[in-house]
Chains A and B, each alone.
Chain A
């Protein structure tokens, strides 16, 4: 079912709705149509959307309440204390410490409540669950390239299963873009030269807007697409029908061997470069004393500027691969290293 309705479709629906004879159905259909014509929110389609809507409505209530309060007090004062003559003598009031404290403390408390509520929601949504399915995204002027780890590629479209957390790892090939799915209430900027990521879990099957949300040039408004959330069985079918590409890790392994990375990065650690088995997601000791966690960004940096991640115990002789790989190939290499991450770490030299 398509959630985004065009004006024509809603008018049709209204017309059709009013063709039923039952009066209650009339009214309910009318209300639904009205709601469809003037929705206040996008579809509630992710595990976090409902929570965000609730916070949003609380904020709306607070805003409308205080606006109405101020407006009505002002209106009341304006009428009650309108000038009656030039000889009016208002009382000599300088202020009131009690009132000042009250209207400082009460708004502060309200702010604390909102901050705590919002931040806990944010923190909860920040880290993806460990079992999240992964999709990699490359934004470029002016389209989205997506690739599932299982292999299927998509352009300006993203198929995801309902009820399964999905993590998107994204980079840009040129300027800054933004990946936004209003129905899921998630958004993240997509930056060149590094990876950003976010996750969501779709809860309702449907078709939802995907927008580019960071201005990126002439066809910024055309860098849009659709997210298709499907029940898990349909999703599995879709995957099976679209597996004309190998899984990313396999593609990465082919690149790894083709470019003779395996000559130095021997799995048992006996080569001239460190073993890559079991390193993903764990700290790696560098010769400059740092121990950064191996993530997508680190692998990318190691490919582009190897001298910036000198692993301890190994000579800094790795050549740079800048300009030799597309962003897709880099992601495939990363997927390959990730796939090695589940294996036991080999002993270092």
Chain B
């Protein structure tokens, strides 16, 4: 079986170690799913530690949760869900052979939504928390109304910043990937036959979204809100 046939007529980035494009695409998809499995274990370790501490220190976690800006968290949830929609639409556009400008439009919209998420988080949540002295390790101040639960409230905020911080880092990487995809789309690389990079990047983006879907209620909605004298 000649291995040189597909080598040189090669606008679609065919890699020589594969036999054909289909094998390459399947490999790409499987690779991304395995990578997502590692990410699940990565966040999973964090979620496990969080779950254990929540069980041990529930009252403190309720206090901590009520310190968070739930309106921004909720807004960001909607923003991220929309960005998953625009990402899916970008893939759909490629799949149905739309103009590259359409693909680019959806990708850019995804990026804008992602950047909105990060911007809201940075400016209105994290910076606000810093000013209020509830960022552990950066001038955390115990408040008298926390009483003996203060150290555990700090623990909650640790987890909050760790988990949302790791998530945000993944978002930033995702934005980078999207920028690369925009560049590729600009060069006309995506056709209805070949859109695997969009597909696997979409998988990654959806994963990051799903992590947030878990993070939001676990962090922001402990102990109920707006019930019997909520925050």
Query: Which 9 residue pairs are nearest across A and B when measured between Cβ atoms?
Result: A320-B148, A305-B148, A307-B148, A307-B149, A306-B148, A307-B147, A307-B59, A322-B148, A305-B149
Please indicate which of the listed interface residues B57, B147, B149, B152 has the most CB atoms of chain A within 10 Å of its own CB.
Answer: B147
The answer to whether A320 touches B57, judged by C-beta atoms less than 8 angstroms apart, is: no
A304-B148, A320-B147 known; 15 other A-B pairs, CB under 8 Å? A305-B148, A305-B149, A305-B152, A306-B148, A307-B59, A307-B147, A307-B148, A307-B149, A308-B57, A308-B59, A308-B148, A308-B149, A319-B148, A320-B148, A322-B148
**B171 CB to nearest chain A CB (Å):** 36
A306 to B148, CA, bound (A): 7
**A339 CB to nearest chain B CB (Å):** 26
Q: Which of B45-104 contact A (CB under 8 A)?
A: 57, 59
A sample of 11 inter-chain contacts (CB < 8 A) reads A304-B148, A305-B148, A305-B149, A306-B148, A307-B59, A307-B149, A308-B57, A319-B148, A320-B147, A320-B148, A322-B148
**A261 CB to nearest chain B CB (Å):** 16
Chain B, Cβ-Cβ closest to A316: B147
**B228 CB to nearest chain A CB (Å):** 16
Q: Which of A267-325 contact B (CB under 8 A)?
A: 304-308, 319-320, 322
Find chain B residues with CB under 8 A from A322 CB. 148
Chain A, Cβ-Cβ closest to B57: A308
**Mask for B20-63, Cβ within 8 A of A = 1, else 0?**
00000000000000000000000000000000000001010000
Interface size of B in residues (CB-CB distance below 8 Å):
6
**A196 CB to nearest chain B CB (Å):** 18
**B58 CB to nearest chain A CB (Å):** 8
Find chain B residues with CB under 8 A from A306 CB. 148
Chain A, Cβ-Cβ closest to B58: A288
Please indicate which of the listed interface residues A305, A306, A322 has the most CB atoms of chain B within 10 Å of its own CB.
Answer: A305
Interface size of A in residues (CB-CB distance below 8 Å):
8
A304 to B150, CA, bound (A): 12
**Mask for A202-229, Cβ within 8 A of B = 1, else 0?**
0000000000000000000000000000
Find chain A residues with CB under 8 A from B148 CB. 304-308, 319-320, 322
**Mask for A316-336, Cβ within 8 A of B = 1, else 0?**
000110100000000000000
Chain A, Cβ-Cβ closest to B56: A308
Find chain A residues with CB under 8 A from B59 CB. 307-308
Chain A, Cβ-Cβ closest to B59: A307
Please indicate which of the listed interface residues B57, B59, B148, B149 has the most CB atoms of chain A within 10 Å of its own CB.
Answer: B148
**A307 CB to nearest chain B CB (Å):** 5
A320 to B57, CA, bound (A): 16
Find chain B residues with CB under 8 A from A320 CB. 147-148
Find chain A residues with CB under 8 A from B57 CB. 308
A304 to B148, CA, bound (A): 7
**Mask for A227-247, Cβ within 8 A of B = 1, else 0?**
000000000000000000000
Chain B, Cβ-Cβ closest to A306: B148
A307 to B57, CA, bound (A): 10
Chain B, Cβ-Cβ closest to A322: B148
A305 to B59, CA, bound (A): 11
A307 to B61, CA, bound (A): 13
A306 to B146, CA, bound (A): 12
Find chain A residues with CB under 8 A from B152 CB. 305
A305 to B57, CA, bound (A): 10
Find chain B residues with CB under 8 A from A308 CB. 57, 59, 148-149
A319 to B144, CA, bound (A): 12
**A299 CB to nearest chain B CB (Å):** 15
**Mask for B179-191, Cβ within 8 A of A = 1, else 0?**
0000000000000
Q: Which of B147-165 contact A (CB under 8 A)?
A: 147-149, 152
Chain B, Cβ-Cβ closest to A305: B148
Find chain A residues with CB under 8 A from B147 CB. 307, 320
A313 to B149, CA, bound (A): 20
Chain A, Cβ-Cβ closest to B152: A305
**B163 CB to nearest chain A CB (Å):** 23
**B176 CB to nearest chain A CB (Å):** 42
A319 to B148, CA, bound (A): 8
A306 to B152, CA, bound (A): 13
A307 to B56, CA, bound (A): 12
A322 to B152, CA, bound (A): 14
**B108 CB to nearest chain A CB (Å):** 50
Chain A, Cβ-Cβ closest to B148: A320
Chain A, Cβ-Cβ closest to B149: A307
**A309 CB to nearest chain B CB (Å):** 11
Find chain A residues with CB under 8 A from B149 CB. 305, 307-308
**B52 CB to nearest chain A CB (Å):** 15
**Mask for A131-162, Cβ within 8 A of B = 1, else 0?**
00000000000000000000000000000000
Chain B, Cβ-Cβ closest to A321: B148
A305 to B152, CA, bound (A): 10
A319 to B225, CA, bound (A): 28
A255 to B209, CA, bound (A): 55
**B144 CB to nearest chain A CB (Å):** 12
**A201 CB to nearest chain B CB (Å):** 35
A308 to B59, CA, bound (A): 8
**A223 CB to nearest chain B CB (Å):** 28
A308 to B55, CA, bound (A): 12
A305 to B153, CA, bound (A): 12
